Chain A
């Protein structure tokens, strides 16, 4: 079962703890909000991903299993990267 990280942009308050814990998959934009890589979470990063979800002060992060990802164009679109 593949999983992805999803951020609720309304709940997110740019604390940035997720990017500190998981720089492999999350970087911060110019204003401190997380940009999440549009890839499945690699097996070895799953524990860290779960930690990132649990330490978010506003509970804005969640893990979505592939089956639960709603098949909309929005979720398929690659996110913009800052680099």
Chain B
């Protein structure tokens, strides 16, 4: 077990005094020195995209105008709890990172985006910001921005549009927000966990960060483990850790598992037959057509009906479309409706082939990656649960269909209550 960003975690939110006792003060490093350490660290974004932080920083620095830093703590993914944990219990670790990133790009404003339903988390962050001596001057300000609930409203261009125009929907195409974001100024949007790692790199350096993890995916990662597991929680792992090792750390499966969902509702299903091969890092998962996304492992018990579970989540994902792009609205809607008929046994013979075709027709054709993720979720379900889907298409609901489904579709109740 490793503890870097979660080092010194306690049940109550840490105060600045607690934080200094655990980590000591932030060392004084200049912007160029910080940029070198971020580059050397190889840190990639932890919001799901795994984009290299150093490239984002360089793009913001290249652009004209005084930049803004947004820490993205929206966490609209119902299976994720890590950003809420960081902001709600270890806010100063995230704020360290936000200050370091702001210093690197020369930003004068930090916005910490928190989901409006997470009132206590936002208030904790607000109190933590008031405790920081670095913010008691005219050069830099930091405040909490409440963002509307929803799966897509945490997408980076959606946050920028929300802050600018009050519309929590993604925008399309270039220029990117790194070049022209809030008020047409360069904007760095960084996931809360990414910021937390950045804060530690600012203390200990890029080489320290690389001492754990893999060569291509260095460092540790937070993973929310939930479902049929003895101890559902947020775990900090070395990147590249075997899935079986993580499951053992979490007390093992609480029931015989049927499959694992990696990467959340924009991720993909993995059959239990493949468990032993799974190593948890973006690069290691790529050959399995899987991704770690924002760090999610969900254990589906064998007692649940995977068809009913997939169908309900597919319906939820269709509802979560921001409604702007035709292929997403129509494609995800068609997929969700057809899966309901498959689940009921009332679909035509070619229904599953049509669902796959619609998934292919939807992915890659939205302004944001929501249709891509939803398609990946459904396509992987049809592959891993192919027998169950064919069985339902032919014979209708199974015995397990009538039981309450287990996958959450509510951000508030989420993976870990």
Give the interface of A toward B (CB within 8 A).
6, 8-14, 29-33, 35, 68, 70, 74, 77, 79-80, 82
> Are A31's CB and B173's CB within 8 A?
no
Among candidates A6, A13, A35, residue contacting B361 with C-beta atoms closer than 8 Å? A35
Q: Which of A10, A32, A35, A82 neighbours the largest number of chain B CB atoms within 10 Å of its CB?
A: A10
Among candidates B173, B176, B361, residue contacting A82 with C-beta atoms closer than 8 Å? B361
Question: Is B241 interfacial (CB-CB < 8 Å)?
Answer: no
Among candidates B326, B357, B358, residue contacting A12 with C-beta atoms closer than 8 Å? B326
> Are A29's CB and B361's CB within 8 A?
yes
Among candidates A31, A70, A74, residue contacting B327 with C-beta atoms closer than 8 Å? A31
- Among residues of B, the one whose C-beta sits closest to the C-beta of A11 is B172
Q: Answer whether A80 and B360 are a contact pair too, CB < 8 Å, given A8-B172, A10-B172, A30-B334.
A: yes
> Are A14's CB and B326's CB within 8 A?
yes
> Are A9's CB and B330's CB within 8 A?
no
- Among residues of A, the one whose C-beta sits closest to the C-beta of B334 is A30
> Are A31's CB and B174's CB within 8 A?
no
Interface string of B352-365 (1 = CB under 8 A from A): 00000110111111
- Report, as a range, how many residues of chain B touch the other chain: 20 to 34
Q: Answer whether A80 and B361 are a contact pair too, CB < 8 Å, given A6-B173, A10-B367.
A: yes
Question: Is B366 interfacial (CB-CB < 8 Å)?
Answer: yes
> Are A77's CB and B364's CB within 8 A?
yes
> Are A80's CB and B173's CB within 8 A?
no
- Among residues of A, the one whose C-beta sits closest to the C-beta of B51 is A72
- Among residues of B, the one whose C-beta sits closest to the C-beta of A38 is B364
List 19 other contacts, CB 8 Å, given A9-B172, A14-B326, A30-B358: A6-B173, A8-B173, A8-B367, A9-B326, A9-B327, A9-B366, A9-B367, A10-B172, A13-B326, A29-B327, A30-B334, A31-B326, A31-B330, A32-B326, A33-B326, A35-B361, A74-B369, A80-B362, A80-B364
List, sorted by A's number, 26 A–B pairs whose CB atoms are closer than 8 Å. A6-B173, A8-B172, A8-B367, A9-B326, A9-B327, A10-B172, A10-B324, A10-B325, A11-B172, A12-B325, A12-B326, A29-B331, A30-B334, A31-B327, A31-B331, A33-B326, A33-B327, A33-B330, A35-B365, A70-B174, A70-B176, A74-B364, A79-B365, A80-B360, A82-B357, A82-B361
How close is A72's CB to chain B, nearest CB, in angstroms? 9
Give the interface of B toward A (CB within 8 A).
171-174, 176, 324-328, 330-331, 334, 357-358, 360-367, 369
How close is A18's CB to chain B, nearest CB, in angstroms? 13
Contacts of A6 in B (CB 8 A): 173
Contacts of A14 in B (CB 8 A): 326
How close is A32's CB to chain B, nearest CB, in angstroms? 8
Among candidates A10, A33, A79, residue contacting B171 with C-beta atoms closer than 8 Å? A10
Contacts of B326 in A (CB 8 A): 9, 12-14, 31-33
How close is B26's CB to chain A, nearest CB, in angstroms? 33
How close is A71's CB to chain B, nearest CB, in angstroms? 11
How close is A39's CB to chain B, nearest CB, in angstroms? 15
Q: Give CA–CA (A11, B327) in the complex, Å.
A: 12
Contacts of B328 in A (CB 8 A): 9
